[in-house]
Amino acid sequence: MKVEILSRELIKPCSATPPSFRKYNISLIDEFSPNMNVPTIFYYSATDQDTTLSVPIMSYKHLKNSLSKVLSSFHPFAGRYNKETHSVDCSDQGAEFVEAKVDVQLDDLLSQRKNLKVEVLNDLLPCPLGAVDEYTDPLLAVQVSAFSCGGFAIAVCSSHRIADMTTTISVVKAWAIATKMELGYVVDNDVPNSWNFDSALLFPGQNLPSLPSGISRDKENIEVHKVVTKMFYFSESKILSIRERAKVDKLSKILPTRVQSVFGIIGKAIIDVHVANPENPKGYAVVQAVNMRERTVPPLKNQFGNLYLAAYAQSVVGSEGVELPYFVDCLSSSVKSAIDNCSVVLSLQKEGKPSLSQELRELLKSLANPEIYFAGTFSSWCKFPLYEADFGWGKPAWVSNANIPMKNLVILVDEKSGGGIEAWVNLKESDMKEFIKHNEIKDIIDCN
């Protein structure tokens, strides 16, 4: 697949950001978040072959106009991060907009997705994933790539310095609605009119180091990073089977969640690969992001930024590896504890108790412990309305991740039907070779 860049430009908000909003302070959770751009790619099939030639010109114009309008409501995305002051200069520098064309048909790409070399998808991204935290780095960059058949891909890279997936998908949703309105569609606009930009007041920054991503500022390169990405598809029936096996109490009718069960089978394989080597430590730890927005009191539904807690699970395994029910129960317990903390985190913060900052510092300390093998950062994008992003071409045919050279990162995404799950697993090359040989993972591959 060859991708040719046609143009790059900065899209500025259609109305100037008021002086009172021109400085956006990042929060404690923003500080802790990995220093990387998060990629999401939306693919749209051609719907009318007779009008293919006129679609790109029309679409680029309307996409730019609507993005300009949306940036007025999400002004930090048009600014630049200042790492010296831990704040965003919201002087309307602009989001980056890239136009490109691809020399293959979209259907050919989609037909290969279960066996795709994921690194080719990075050519659809507008910027390197590690190009963050310098003043010249856009906080939002998009690339619109036209396939030879008339289909399109819209790739969105948002800086984890100021945004989690809830924030990013909210921007994408607002942009899609604004584009359809530009095209003359009558749409049901359920995007909130106003967002809150005061996360730093709720969780003041404390100059915490970010969670190290290990990603360089250069374009992703397997030879340099030695981290590969593979997508593993879990069917609805396979997930149900794993949930049954993952029960601690075999007589219970209550099943672990689909997300915890898939994380469990993947995490077990990652840990087993390392436990099999006696030179590696027997302790392990995993971290899972837990969205706190609607779980706090009061809820923080329309809060801009990173709003999540890090559920931390740590244990020790024997030479035979980790037992699936125990591991899933361990994950589930850590997530439940984080959810319980969501209900009190705001009140503790108001009382001046450093609970969250203390927890994050302890977590960073644990992750630096050489006696503990860090088995994974787990993030679930399941239940996010990724497939609702209709820019006027209909809903996406597929939504993908890309090659993220951050070892032991696992991201789960619902398939379009909502029944199955696509697991995007990022591992060191040597680990991936052993991972795909693991009986549990081999079984998943064989089922596909």
Q: Catalogue the active-site residues.
A: 160, 390
Angle of helix 324-350 relative to helix 355-367, nearest 10 degrees? 140
The DSSP secondary structure of 312-370, one letter per residue, reads EEEEE-BTTB--HHHHHHHHHHHHHHHHHHHHHHHHHHHTT--HHHHHHHHHHHHHT-T
Alpha-carbon span 378 to 369, nearest angstrom: 19
Q: What are phi and psi of 319, to 5 degrees?
A: -70, -15
Whether the Cβ atoms of residue 220 and residue 129 lie closer than 8 Å to each other: yes
Q: Which amino acid is at 427?
A: L
Whether the Cβ atoms of residue 74 and residue 174 lie closer than 8 Å to each other: yes
Whether the Cβ atoms of residue 416 and residue 209 lie closer than 8 Å to each other: no
| Tokens encoding 24 | 């956006």
Residues 6+ apart with CB under 8 A from 254: 247
Strand partners, 140: 158
121 CB-contact burial (10 Å; exposed 0-12 / middle 13-18 / buried 19+): buried
Taking CA atoms, 86 is separated from 72, 83, 210, 389, in Å, by: 22, 5, 12, 32
Strand partners, 380: 412
61 CB-contact burial (10 Å; exposed 0-12 / middle 13-18 / buried 19+): exposed
Q: Which amino acid is at 193?
A: N
Between vectors from CA 428 to CA 427 and to CA 430, what angle results, nearest 5°? 120
Other Cβ atoms within 10 Å of 366 Cβ, number? 15
- CA torsion angle for 262, 260, 412, 228 (degrees, to 10)? -60
Q: What is the 3-state secondary structure (H, E, C) of 61-115?
A: HHHHHHHHHHHHHCHHHHCEEECCCCEEECCCCCEEEEEEEECCCHHHHHHCHHH
Alpha-carbon span 340 to 336, nearest angstrom: 6
First to last CA, the chain: 24
